[in-house]
Amino acid sequence: MTLSGLPDQASLPPGPTRLELGWLRRIWPILRPHTASVIFSFSVGVVALVLQVAVPAIVGTTIDESIASDNQPLQGFLIALAVIGMARGVLLVIYRYGLYRMAYSVEADLRQTMFRHYTTLSHSFYDRMQSGQLISRAQSDVRAVQLFFAVAPLILTAVLSFFIAMTVMLRTNVLLTLVAVAPLPFVYVVGILLRNRLFPLSWIIQGRQAEVATVTEESIAGVRVVQSFAAEGSRVTEMAKAARGLRWANVQQGDVRARFAPLLENLPRLGSLAVLVYGGWLVIDGQLEIGAIIQFNAYILMLQIPFRFLGFFLILGQRARASSERIFEVLDETPEITDPEQPVDLPVPKGRVEMSGVQFGYGSGPDVLRDLDLVISAGETVAIVGGTGSGKSTVGRLLSRFYDPRDGTITLDGVNIADLKVSRLRELIVVAPDEPFLFSVPVRDNLAFGRPGVDQAEIEAAARAVDAHEFILNLEHGYSTVVGERGYTLSGGQRQRIALGRALLVDPAVLVLDDATSAIDVEVEARIHDALRVRRDGRTTILVAHRLSTIGLADRVIFLVDGSVKATGTHAELLRRVPEYATVLAHDIDLTPDTDLTPDTELAGTEGSQE
């Protein structure tokens, strides 16, 4: 809904889907492992309920006997009440502990299920989904489902007490029982009206909470950009807009509760009034004992308990339903990148890459790569050069199967990469991006991210290979230093070197450096590439190049234009015979002011320090 109260397309619940089978049926596989605990806890609760129902009967009988006999001793009555009270207290502790433990276990299982599914979803899914939306579904939506399962059994027990109390009342006096329950059909009608109004509002509230989470997450993650552009005011305005939307939905829900909840709670009390009037007349007329009236009043209170919680239960139920549907919207997403049914393996990978007739575009957009054909020999170092939007970075993403091509084939050592297990492929082909992401953990753990448990000696060897060992030792706690969020406590060049070390430690057959040394000093970059050659002779390296110093490290250059290979050869050869290559270098490649684009240019060392 909009702030004016009119619904918009994104705010409404989804149309008919498989969710119509019922969200409880969908979530049953997660509940099933906890059925034994639920049955035991609920059984204990039923015993406690029976003891509760027994108290009014004992009180009524004792009163009638005391009136009939002036000398009726009360010691037995008091002892019975004390024993029942203590027993019921112990049973309720067991009952509630079991139910809450079940609810929190379901919450943990649901979170793990969602997170596991998140890890399987393809990059195309994350291209179109906001991270705040996903965080909200894994947090507040899961919490709403957990709260329902924590409270629902308690309310179910209250409903059971309603039927037990009514059974006892019917055995005492049928007509008086009918008088007591006469208002209940009206309570049912009010409950249906309340439920029908709550569900769409519950859906909207969960969506608005996700909007608030999105603005918060993006503003915090991008705080450096926000402050760099002095855009704090606009972000506060955006948050205020999202908060007002959430406030409106919550106020609407509060308005519905304010109008319907009092009816739900007070309609059953008309039954109490009717019992006192009609029951009092029966006592005066000698048709009923005083103890029975007292017993009836106690049971009427038990009849009212479910209705007092009915409004709250409906709110929880509708919110849990809305949240579960939002959760299953994500769980129903099918990963586009999956393992083949009969995967093959490359026990001794060499690193020969071939792309034939590859066409690819992001989402429903136009093709970025068009009939791309290229061959990279095992052990070759190749630079991929092209203007903006030519598809340079896309090549690395396709090699690692972050996306699948629309057409064409990609092979590694003659094996179609779609025939390899995804995890195995990503061990063989590793992409180091230009904007490395570091986790808020020690430097050691960031380096060993791809090989948890690797020994310190190998970690340090990888760090030395990327010229990072010295600066790491100079950090406050060396390899145990916890980097700030996303590694922002380090310089750009330091982050890139740690990311390179992380990729190198996996020891891939094909290493794709997607402008991964753009923030590193030219001389340091040259040392890193020398170390890479020494560390594993014959490694295939693909350089997505934006700097002449990087291009100079390659054995061969592949020049892309509009998603196709325009030419291939050494840098000097391309300068001589492909005029468009020099034009692209002049416009899109990082140059120093005095760089001369001639075949004799000294490529390594044409730039100053960029770190």
SS3 459: helix
Mean pLDDT of 447-470: 90
Query: Which of 257-261, 316-320, 381-385 holds the top average pLDDT?
Result: 381-385
Q: What is the mean pLDDT of the chain?
A: 80
% of the chain beyond a pLDDT of 70? 86
The closest of 59, 274, 80 to 177, measured between CA atoms, is: 274
- CA atoms of 117 and 277, how far apart (whole Å): 61
Taking residue 195's Cβ as centre, other Cβ atoms within 10 Å add up to 18
| pLDDT reading at 33 higher than 80 | yes
Cα angle 555, 431, 112 (rounded to 5 degrees) comes to: 170
Please count the CA atoms within 13 angstroms of the CA of 486 that sit on its side-chain side.
9
Query: Strand 381-386 vs strand 369-376: parallel, antiparallel, or unpaired?
Result: unpaired
CB 380 within 8 A of CB 555: yes
Beta bridge partners of 407: 359
Written as one string, the DSSP assignment of 243-290 is: HHHHHHHHHHHHHHHHHHHHHHHHHHHHHHHHHHHHHHHHHHTTSS-H
Give the pLDDT of residue 210: 77
Q: Side chain identity at 475, as an amino acid letter? A: L
The answer to whether 75 touches 115, Cβ cutoff 8 Å, is no
Q: pLDDT value at position 26?
A: 83
Which residues does residue 556 pair with via DSSP β-bridges, in sequence order? Answer: 382
Torsion of CA 184, 190, 195, 201, to 10 degrees: -150
Task: Check residue 239 and give its pLDDT.
Answer: 83
Angle, to 10 degrees, between the axis of helix 23-31 and the axis of helix 75-120?
100
Specify the DSSP class assigned to residue 604: T
| Residue 193 pLDDT class (50, 70, 90 cuts) | confident
- Nearest Cα neighbor of 8 from 247, 244, 204, 209 is 204
Q: How far apart are the first and last CA of the chain?
A: 49
What is the torsion angle, in degrees rounded to the nearest 10, for the CA atoms of residue 122, residue 127, residue 131 and residue 133? Answer: -90
Structure tokens at 255: 């308005």
Write the Ramachandran bin of 342: left for phi over 0, alpha for psi from -120 to 50, otherwise beta: beta
Q: How far apart are CA 571 and CA 600, in angstroms?
A: 10
Please compute the mean of the pLDDT values over residues 573-581 and round it to a whole number: 90
Helix spans in 69-141 (H): 75-120, 123-128, 131-136
Other CB atoms within a 10 A radius of the CB of residue 213 amount to: 21
- pLDDT number for residue 590: 55
pLDDT tens-digit series, residues 223-272? 666 665 677 787 788 888 888 888 888 888 888 878 877 777 777 777 77
Say what the pLDDT of residue 370 is.
92
- State the pLDDT at residue 71: 61
List for the chain the helix, strand, coil content (%; round to 5): 65, 10, 25
Q: What pLDDT sits at residue 227?
A: 65
Return the pLDDT at 294. Answer: 75
Contact 179, 271 (CB under 8 A): yes
Position 425 scores a pLDDT of 92
- Location of structure tokens 């997170």: 115
CA dihedral 155, 158, 164, 168 (to 10 degrees): -150
What would the two tokens of residue 541 be?
A: 């390296």
Q: What is the DSSP letter of 121?
A: S
CB-based contact 327:142 (threshold 8 Å): yes
> Could you write out the DSSP letters of every residue in 153-192?
HHHHHHHHHHHHHHHHHHHH-HHHHHHHHTTHHHHHHHHH
Cα 434 from Cα 493, distance rounded (Å): 10
Closest CA to 532 of 559, 513, 551, 558: 513
Q: What is the DSSP letter of 365?
A: S
pLDDT of residue 228: 58
The backbone region for 413, taken as left when phi is positive above 0, alpha when psi lies in -120 to 50, beta otherwise, is: left
393: CB partners within 8 A, 6+ apart: 514, 515, 544
230: which 2 tokens?
Answer: 């002095």
Q: Looking at the predicted structure, is the pLDDT value of residue 322 above 90?
A: no
3-state class of 193 per DSSP? helix
Residue listed under structure tokens 């030519």: 390
What is the DSSP pairing of strand 381-386 with strand 407-412? Answer: unpaired
**Domains of the chain by start residue, with CATH:** 31-331 (1.20.1560.10), 353-588 (3.40.50.300)
- Are 599 and 572 a contacting pair, CB within 8 Å? yes
Distance in angstroms (rounded) separating the CA atoms of residues 417 and 410:
6
Q: Indicate if the pLDDT at residue 447 is higher than 60.
A: yes
32: number of Cβ within 10 Å: 9
For residue range 86-139, list pLDDT tens digits in order.
998 899 899 888 888 888 888 889 888 888 888 888 888 888 887 777 887 888
303 falls in which pLDDT band (50, 70, 90)?
confident
* Interval 329-366: pLDDT, tens: 888 888 888 999 999 988 889 999 999 999 999 988 89
pLDDT at 552: 81
* Whether the predicted pLDDT of 17 surpasses 70: no
CB of 215 within 8 A of CB of 238? yes
Mean pLDDT, residues 504-528 taken together: 83
Query: What count of other Cβ atoms lies within 10 Å of the Cβ of residue 540?
Result: 24
